[in-house]
A and B are shown apart, each in its own frame.
Chain A
């Protein structure tokens, strides 16, 4: 009994901090999402009304919210597999026994992760520029037509995906490199003695060995990519034609452009529910495959 009390005593400071700086704001945001807090309420609290689930209902009837959701899912559906493939590919190259200067390459490939997003976004805007951009220059050189990456509603999201994958793949790559090093070498040797080709060794030894890591990486990446915000904020401001408005960008506009904090909080909770649902589905799939 005394031991229990001592335990509570020791975790109390941490719990208090988490309570004040996490649970309290989250609870307050939930209450806020049940009100119509806007600039009128900011001017005078008397103008605040309790609207129950009205904000949630209005959001589900708002075509722009659905478009934002569609854009975000597009970003996740293309961006996450691309990002995982890029990081796994890079990790395999780094792990290969043929690779030289491993430290140098590891650092170089990890570098985009630690760069400032806004600064590199500016550089990418130069690269993607329709007239003077290096990427279109390259396309032109191999005989392809130039693309107005950030000005064309069909190409803006692919451009954002490209940028986000480049910016983020290094992080997962490091996790994969660590995962690869835990696969015992004798499994590969046994496979080789059995006459398995490199492709089959990857499929039957590397991938099963990496399964828990792949699950972890996909959970983290999906959760992160669903929160797409800074890339469109810096590169396109949601345009052209609202083609890069993500759910979080929509929330930002509602909250800080129009100051509808009630609606913005409701968006945050809807996104939370979505992320929870997606994560549970991923876990269920992993469990069925026997990874967990």
Chain B
């Protein structure tokens, strides 16, 4: 129980400190380069630093490891206090926020001149998440998308040899699995507190998720209604349990037991499934790209990027470190150590990824990934979207009423942005 006054005072101190930001950032040329990285990546990247320091005499790198849960708040606090590091790992959905703060160094010219960092070697959808309002402000470090993990044996037994590629096939397969496993088990697991499955279905539509330059929600578009209708249908037909992930005991045990056949999740579960399922049971699972409305569909362009913060005066050495971390060798070693998926496609062509059957679906889907709307409010809009979707599934809200409510909430969150856009429009004319 923290004192109310204490918390409030901290907040004000930060606000008061903001104008000092400009002077606090400047440090001597011999000071170590400050690099913040999160979680496991922050731990592993320290092993890649000695080679960089050897190649750049006189330059030292200080890696600060942050826990993911605290990283976002810590970065904003550091911005307010004028104490941002020289470079940093950020989730690529955070980029619009830091771009709106004007904290990110534009990287277009540096990437254009670089022989190492080349967008053509990467995944186009992921690079697009790094371009905010036409300015490139990050370099993909590793990539992420959500797709299907499924029980190969159950699917085969239900009479479907191949993984579904379209929504219709997926629905058929789920129906077949459900009638095979009967009561007490499910065809799919789509936890109601996870927005990614619905978001993936929504990104597969041609309608954008926001309209009016990111000033209003576009959830009442025909495309989103189609996605939400399909999502709701899975629950209405009794193919997935209307529960959140906290209500599921041990996910891996349940999957092994056959409690569900399809699960939409991300690359970290490649390692988890290998670790948590018994060795003799490793052949029961497989991955497949997300089915789309007609043929393999788009996915969320996730992952983390490396950015250079403005105002520290250390952009040149920081960029050299980014280049060092983007080399083929560094990417291979980094991804082998962390289990992350590399942002460079030539790393995918080498061992061990080239022969990794379960990772192949990720490589396939990564060519079709799309960025989520690039407004700072997007993360909160996603949360609201999922809360309404949960009400729809649990409480029987109709699709039309649900999309209307999502738009109402999104418009509320975007009110400030609309005001700013309108003011910019006025000053431009």
A-side contacts of B250, CB under 8 Å: 131
Known: A230-B2, A257-B72. A264 touches B11 (CB 8 A): yes
Interface of B: prevailing SS: helix
CB of A265 within 8 A of CB of B1, answer no
CB of A225 within 8 A of CB of B1, answer yes
Select the stretch in B28-36, B74-82, B127-135 that faces chain A: B74-82
User: Nearest chain A CB to B102's CB is how many angstroms away?
Assistant: 5
B-side contacts of A21, CB under 8 Å: 9
Q: Is A251 an interface residue (CB 8 A)?
A: yes
Q: Is A292 an interface residue (CB 8 A)?
A: no
B-side contacts of A38, CB under 8 Å: 416
Per-residue CB proximity of B64-106 to A under 8 Å, as 1/0? 0000010011001101100000000000000001001110000
The 8 Å CB contact of A26, one of B8, B77, B419, is B8
What is the number of contacts between chain A and chain B, taking CB atoms within 8 Å?
96
B-side contacts of A230, CB under 8 Å: 1-2
**Which of A21, A22, A259 is packed against the most chain B CB atoms within 10 Å?**
A259
User: Which B residues between 1 and 41 are near A, CB-CB below 8 angstroms?
Assistant: 1-5, 7-9, 11-12, 15, 18
B-side contacts of A153, CB under 8 Å: 246
**In the complex, which residue of chain B has the Cβ closest to the Cβ of A117?**
B1
Per-residue CB proximity of A5-38 to B under 8 Å, as 1/0? 0000000000000000110011011001000111
Per-residue CB proximity of B362-380 to A under 8 Å, as 1/0? 0000000000000010001
User: Nearest chain A CB to B234's CB is how many angstroms away?
Assistant: 21
> When chains A and B are docked, how far (Å) is the Cα of A240 from the Cα of B246?
7
B-side contacts of A25, CB under 8 Å: 5, 8-9, 12
**In the complex, which residue of chain B has the Cβ closest to the Cβ of A130?**
B249
CB of A29 within 8 A of CB of B2, answer no
> When chains A and B are docked, how far (Å) is the Cα of A225 from the Cα of B2?
10
B-side contacts of A44, CB under 8 Å: 102
Counting chain A residues whose Cβ lies within 8 A of the other chain, the interface size class is: 35 or more
Known: A39-B97, A248-B7. A148 touches B12 (CB 8 A): no
**In the complex, which residue of chain A has the Cβ closest to the Cβ of B79?**
A42
**Which of B4, B102, B244 is packed against the most chain A CB atoms within 10 Å?**
B4
**In the complex, which residue of chain B has the Cβ closest to the Cβ of A131?**
B250
> When chains A and B are docked, how far (Å) is the Cα of A224 from the Cα of B2?
9
User: Nearest chain B CB to A52's CB is how many angstroms away?
Assistant: 15
> When chains A and B are docked, how far (Å) is the Cα of A189 from the Cα of B28?
78
Q: Give 22 pairs: A residue, B residue, CB < 8 Å, sorted on A.
A: A22-B5, A25-B5, A25-B8, A26-B8, A32-B11, A40-B100, A42-B15, A42-B80, A43-B102, A151-B246, A152-B246, A227-B2, A228-B1, A230-B1, A231-B1, A239-B246, A240-B246, A241-B244, A255-B11, A256-B11, A256-B76, A268-B4
The 9 closest A-B pairs by CB, nearest first: A240-B246, A43-B101, A227-B1, A256-B73, A29-B8, A25-B9, A151-B246, A25-B12, A229-B2
Chain A residues engaging chain B, CB cutoff 8 angstroms = 21-22, 25-26, 28-29, 32, 36-40, 42-44, 47, 49, 130-131, 148, 151-153, 224-225, 227-231, 237, 239-241, 248, 251-252, 255-259, 261, 264-265, 268, 271-272
